[in-house]
Chains A and B, each alone.
Chain A
Amino acid sequence: SQQGEEDPQALSIQEGENATMNCSYKTSINNLQWYRQNSGRGLVHLILIRSNEREKHSGRLRVTLDTSKKSSSLLITASRAADTASYFCATARWETSGSRLTFGEGTQLTVNP
């Protein structure tokens, strides 16, 4: 079953606006990662935030993590048409059988020029 639920499922904005995507999860995690996927292609890693971190920045990306609420958000500032893609959060947890990434259902972001 999917660990993460993402909100919204789809988001359409104008170039230059900010885009915020949210992710909620159910169990304890070791880290949370965000990935981007362009139209049925491979995923590209964007950012990793550890469970003891609250906020992380990378270029135009800002990720927050609230482990007490089991939620994370991804903010893309000053969006561009090239940011149009699906965005997935993925939670990582260590299990007795090893570690694994569990992906959310994704948010489809459309940035209109």
Chain B
Amino acid sequence: KAGVTQTPRYLIKTRGQQVTLSCSPISGHRSVSWYQQTPGQGLQFLFEYFSETQRNKGNFPGRFSGRQFSNSRSEMNVSTLELGDSALYLCASSTSGSGIREQYFGPGTRLTVT
């Protein structure tokens, strides 16, 4: 089976712009979770989608949003980018909800905000 894929792998944006990141889970996985990783805050949970419904959300401002499509592919959007949004964004897929079983991570999207 193909692994989790994320596009794009690298992205450079300017403050105030918005960005959309994409994640394709492993075939058959219905749960997709998103995480932000920074040197200062570590790995932080953003949100989880299961069968097109957001089931759980971390403590991030409303500028961070996401969605999941019927084929389980997921996108996350960050509007009005701030310098502090520079991070590695990881998505992970699982057969069940995040935390219930092991998660399979994609390679991440490295976002740099200038």
Contacts and interface: CB of A to CB of B under 8 A. Distances in A.
Co-complex (A, B): yes
Chain B, interface size: which category?
20 to 34
Contacts of A35: 105
At the interface, is chain B mostly helix, strand, loop or mixed?
A: strand
Interface residues of A, number: 28
Contacts of B57: 97
B98 interface: yes
Contacts of B102: 33, 45, 48
At the interface, is chain A mostly helix, strand, loop or mixed?
A: strand
Given A42-B90, A43-B90, A98-B55, A48 B45 contact: no
Contact of A42 (B45, B99, B106): B106
Given A42-B105, A42-B106, A93 B42 contact: no
Interface string B82-113: 00000010101000011111111111101000
A102 B59 CA distance: 12
A102 B57 CA distance: 12
Interface in B29-52: 33, 35, 42-45, 48
A43 B107 CA distance: 8
